[in-house]
Each structure stands twice: as C-alpha cells, then as structure tokens.
Amino acid sequence: MHTSPVRRRRLGVAAAAAGLLATLLMAGPAAATPDPGDTAAAPTGVSAAQRAEATAAIRSGEVPGVDEIVHSDNITHLANVPKDALKGLNTDLAFQGKYAFAGNYDGFRIFDIGNPRSPKTVAQVLCPGSQNDISVSGNLLFLSTDSSRSDNSCSSTTQPATEKSSWEGMKVFDISDKRNPKYVAAVETACGSHTHTLVPERKNVYVYVSSYSPSATFPDCQPPHDGISVIKVPRDAPEKAAVVNFPVLFPDGGNPGAPENPGVSKTTGCHDITVLPSKDLAAGACMGDGLLFSIKDPENPKIIDRVQDNVNFAFWHSATFNQTTDKVVFTDELGGGGAATCNEEIGPKRGANGIYDIVGRGDHRKLVFRSYFKIDRPQADTEVCVAHNGSIIPVEGRDLMVQAWYQGGVSVWDFTDSSKPKEIGYFERGPVSTDAVTTAGPWSAYYYNGYIYSNDIAKGFDVLKLDDRRTDPAKRVRLDELNVQTQPEYFDR
C-alpha cells in the first residue's frame, strides 16, 4: 500500500471504448444487479480497444496497476481479511459493539473488530441466497434473500421463480451468542427481499422490505408491484414475525420508463429505503423515482414528496440524509453494477449522486435538486464503477460522507455546500483485469466508531483509518449499533 502518484488529469481516461455508451443504451433501462442465483455473472470480454485503453492508462499512471492499492495521504489501509469459507460476492455491512456483520451471497460472516488493525473471524454462516443484505438489532440479525429458492432453509437450492413452491424473503437469526447464530424465523415476501430497512421499537422491529421486477409468470411476484412489504418482528418472539402491510407507494404506477423516458428504469418497486426514526422520516430510492415519506405510523408510511430525473438518473439505488435533515443524497446505479461508467464517455452527471435540499415543513416539505457528485478519478474501461452504499461521517456543522464505488474504490467527500460537493479522500485498487469487465470493488463503505470499514466484493473486508482535520471530530462519536439504512441521531438537538 502506498500513496497514489500524482494523477495526470482528473477523469482523464481516453474514451477509447467507443461501443460502451451504445451498449448501455441498447441494454435498455439500467437495473440493479440481476439475481444470478447464487453466483456472480461471468466476467465480460472486452474489445481490443478497451484492452489497449486499460493497459495504456496503467502505463501512464492515470489508473493503478492490476490489484495495486493507492490512496490519498489522509487515509491509511490498516487491514484486509480475504474471503474464507464463503466464496460468493461480499455485500452489505452492519455493526454492533465490537462486532461487524458482513453479508455474502453464500451467507454472512461476523468479525471481532475490537482491534481494528487485526479483525478476527468469530463465525461464518452458510445460508445461500442472492444479496444477503444484512442488519442487526439487539439479539436479532436480519438477512434478505432475493433469489428464488427451493425452500426457506439454509440448505436450499436454486429453483425457478415460475414455480409456486419457490421461496424468497426475509430470514431472522438469534445472535445472542455471536459464535453460534441460530436461525429462528423466515417470512416470505412478494418478489423476495433485495434490501431491507429496520425501524426498531422497544418491543418490536419493523422491517421495510424493498423488492421489484414482477412478472405475470411469477406466482409470488405479480404485477403491479408498486409498494413495499412491512414485516413486524416481536423481539421476544421472532418466530411470530409476519407481513402486516403492503403500502402502495405509487398509485399511478411510478415512472413509466422507456419509451416515454428512454434510459430510465420503469418503477416496479423500491431498491432501498433509508429511515431517520428520530425524525419520523424516510427516503426511498425506487428505480425511476426518489421519495420522501413520513413514518410516524411505521406500519403505514405516508408519501410527502416524489421526484424524478429523466435526463441523468437511470436507476435510483440508495439514499442518505445529512444530520440536520435538510438534505438527502440519492445514488444512481447506472449500468446495474455491471459496467464501466466512470470515464469521459459517460461523463460527470450520469451515474452520479444527486444532492437534494429538503425545504419546507412537515408534510409540505419538498425535494429540491442542487447538484451532482461523481468521483473524477479516472477508471479503466475494464473496471465496473458505480455509485453504491455509503454513510455519513458524524462531524457537527459539516456534511461529510464516505461511499463505495465498486472498482472506483472508497470516496470521502464533502457536501456541506450542496451545490459544490468535493472529494477530500479516497482509497482504491487497480483493475482486477485488463482482459475482462469483472464485478469487484467495495460494495459498502461505512464510518463506524472512528474507522472506515469496507466490504470488497472480491477482495474481502478492509479497514481504513482517516486522519483529516475536517473529519477528526467524528472520532469522538461512539455508537452501540449501526445499520446505515437506519440512520441514528448523532447529536442531540
């Protein structure tokens, strides 16, 4: 590991891959990574021009060498824990006390991060099912399954969604013994669970389940699929977990997508939801739409405002509030997490974050667009690069965020001025290959109790230390638990 050489130019990779933009457009509206069963899609071959571009970019120093680690001066790479028993794609992260919980398409892994420089594996649980989006609350761990399975067990096999007996949805584990998690409940949900979000209460945990892409051929995922599943989980009796509502968020059907809005995903549900329970507020990233809604009644969320960006946003992927709840950052997963989109050909606005101010009061609040933010560090045309999961860095009076960009690496950026966001730090690896477009890089990058933790799809679990006068005050903030999609109130107001 070492500090990156000086970049010759920002977002300076030559647009040698002339067919990339055409390929993205021909593929139709971008979608989140399609459910591939339990394995990643095979690497995609590249043209001679793309291969030459990647090789030339490495030789010139514009991008790191294959698997080379580079970073800004204010970031130190403390540790990497490679994959072990679970060989699938690494996915999301959750935290509790001195433990980190890491999702993987094959199950989940628990790390002891009491010493961030030397994380130790506490448990690895084999429980295959695409996504395995993960969160924790008290003694309960929640796991999303978004591939059609033969049953709800952890020994199930892939089975077509066209079969009525197939299962997908939410799984619940008891983690009171971190070394021996116990599978205690399962709830089937319409169209499975791509992601989920917790709304915790003292006696119950509500789970908002986001899923999409219905089909008339899927018995358990019928169109229209224009809402979310709400599950109620009693803490003392999780085996009684059940769906208690399916609120319709898009009574008009949502964004119609193509041909009315070419290059934009048709809304058939939500991809991800972030809640701020202390403010009774939620933001939804829902394919072709961005939402702001009230969760005063968690079983019956109420839409406050809805926005679209039919020029530059292909797929509304995730959302993050700032600490004063007057801004929200939405991400665009252009290319579905399977394409090289951080280059001159795509440009700085497509596949970017959209920063919105929240103006007004109560149920009259509105989302007002201010600017885009996209990393401008050049990425090779063989690197899958996309805006992905990140979290707030808690510094009072500033809006700072750390975010994963797949092979674009980890970005630390400042959006205190919502019209002029800027990157202030980064960590990344060079291309996995110059011969194929391969899915790799950080899926999630989150700030927790003084460190940045990243779950790299291919390379494993990384720990980073950020030393910067702008972010150093965050080191004093300590949490007992963190699920990033359930944002805490960092400072009493």
The model's pLDDT over 98-157, given as tens digits with 9 standing for 90+, comes to 999 999 999 999 999 999 999 999 999 999 999 999 999 999 999 999 999 999 999 999
Task: State how far the Cα of 345 lies from the Cα of 381, in Å rounded to an integer.
Answer: 10
Per-residue pLDDT, averaged over 449-470, amounts to 98
**Residue 96, pLDDT above cutoff 90:** yes
Q: Which two tokens stand for residue 480?
A: 């007992």
Task: Return the percent helix, strand and coil in the chain, to nearest 5.
Answer: 10, 40, 50
Is the pLDDT at 308 greater than 80? The verdict is yes
Q: So what's the pLDDT on residue 208?
A: 98
Give 319's pLDDT tier (boundaries 50, 70, 90): very high
pLDDT of 436 reads 87
Task: Read off the tokens for 164.
Answer: 């009525």
- 329-351: pLDDT as tens digits: 999 999 998 999 999 999 999 99
Tokens of residue 174, six digits: 């008891």
pLDDT at 52 (0 to 100)? 86
Mean pLDDT of 360-377: 97
Q: Band the pLDDT of 3: cuts 50, 70, 90.
A: very low
Distances 71 to 218, 359, 408, 419, 430 between C-alpha atoms, Å: 46, 36, 11, 26, 11
186 vs 41 pLDDT, higher one = 186
Q: Does 399 have pLDDT greater than 60? A: yes
Tell me what pLDDT residue 41 has: 55
Q: Percent of the chain at pLDDT above 90?
A: 85
The rounded Cα 314 to chain-centroid distance in angstroms is 16
Instruction: Between 345 and 41, name the one with better pLDDT.
Output: 345
pLDDT at residue 492 in the model: 75
- Long-range contact pairs involving 490-493 (C-beta distance under 8 Å, separation at least 24): 490/323, 490/392, 490/394, 490/396, 491/323, 491/394, 491/396
Highest mean pLDDT among 31-35, 60-64, 415-419: 415-419
CB 142 within 8 A of CB 155: no
**What residue spans define the domains of the chain?**
2-482
* Bridge-based pairing state of the strands 69-71 and 75-81: unpaired
Confidence class for position 49, pLDDT limits 50, 70, 90: confident
* Range name among 10-14, 247-251, 290-294, 445-449 with the lowest pLDDT average: 10-14
> CB neighbours (10 Å) of residue 354?
24
Per-residue pLDDT tens digits for 230-274: 999 999 999 999 999 999 999 999 999 999 999 999 999 999 999
Residue type, 171: K
Determine the pLDDT at residue 493.
Answer: 62
What pLDDT score was predicted for residue 243?
98
Which pLDDT value is given to residue 31?
32
What percentage of the chain exceeds 70 in pLDDT?
Answer: 91
* SS3 call for 372: strand
Task: Using the predicted structure, report yes or no on whether residue 30 has a pLDDT greater than 90.
Answer: no
Q: What torsion do the CA atoms of 301, 415, 484, 113 make, to the nearest 10 degrees?
A: -170
The string of DSSP letters for 50-96 reads HHHHHHHHHHHTSSPPTT-EEE-TTEEEEEEE---S--S-EEEEEEE
Which range, of 14-23, 66-75, 147-156, 336-345, averages the lowest pLDDT? 14-23
Please state, in angstroms and rounded to a whole number, the distance separating the CA atoms of residues 342 and 454: 20
Tokens of 12: 């300076």
Pairing of strands 436-437, 289-294: unpaired
pLDDT of residue 406: 98
Cα 290 to Cα 123: distance, rounded to the nearest angstrom: 37
Q: pLDDT value at position 20?
A: 34
Considering Cα of 94, then 95, then 96, then 99, what sign does the dihedral take? positive
pLDDT the model gives residue 37: 39
Quick: pLDDT tens for 77-95. Answer: 999 999 999 999 999 999 9
pLDDT band at residue 48, thresholds of 50, 70 and 90? confident
Task: Determine the average pLDDT of the residues in 359-380.
Answer: 96
Class of domain 2-482: mainly beta
Phi and psi dihedrals of 187, rounded to 5?
-130, 120
Confidence of residue 34 (pLDDT cuts 50, 70, 90): very low
Q: Closest Cα to residue 327, out of 403, 421, 408, 406?
A: 421
Kindly tell me if the per-residue pLDDT of 443 is higher than 70.
yes
Higher local confidence (pLDDT), 438 or 256: 256
- In Å, what is the CA distance from 385 to each residue of 339, 375, 379, 407, 429? 7, 10, 8, 5, 12
